[in-house]
Amino acid sequence: MWKLRPLVNKIKANFMKHFVPEQNLSFDETMVKYYGQHSCKQFIRGNPIRLGYKMSLCIPDGYLKHFEVYQGKAPNANPLYEQHFEKCAAPLLTFIDEFTDEKKKMPYHFFFDNLFTSLNLLNYFRRQGYGATGTVRENHLQKCQKLTSNKMLKKKSIGYYESAISKEK
């Protein structure tokens, strides 16, 4: 990937240069199918595309705004982000760091799945003045949080959901 890094950086810089801020930003991961030999290739059991390159994406309106190819250790990774918010959420925070100061001040609302969601991340976004919505894994909850277990949720009807609100500031 090091041979492609200058091209990837140039593409990402152009994405940021032409980034038109929107309130709602969706951040997710995807797999790019690849069966050849490469050290960055990932295998994820249960995905429709099990072998390939894992990427973090920001696609708020159907147009790609940001991407990062997973390489084990990101070249621009912030160790503090990985320590406080886990390795999965670090690309999202690095993406926000790439905003200009003017764009950082906008009232964004981020949407992401359970790979990225943690209470630390949600509280961090609140302190920064951003909104955030995400599903959360049971093992990402603190012990004091009382939500229905996964086993009990399977017995509920389709469409059932629970929400929790923290009053922590």
| Chain-centroid distance, C-alpha 64 | 14
The token pair that represents 53 in the structure block: 């390159």
pTM comes to 0.75
Residue 129 confidence (pLDDT): 92
Residue 143 confidence (pLDDT): 64
The yes-or-no verdict on residue 107 having pLDDT over 70 is yes
Name the residue among 121, 111, 114 with its Cα closest to residue 136: 114
Residue 145 confidence (pLDDT): 66
Average pLDDT over residues 56-70: 74
Residue 131 confidence (pLDDT): 93
Domains of the chain: 22-153 (3.30.420)
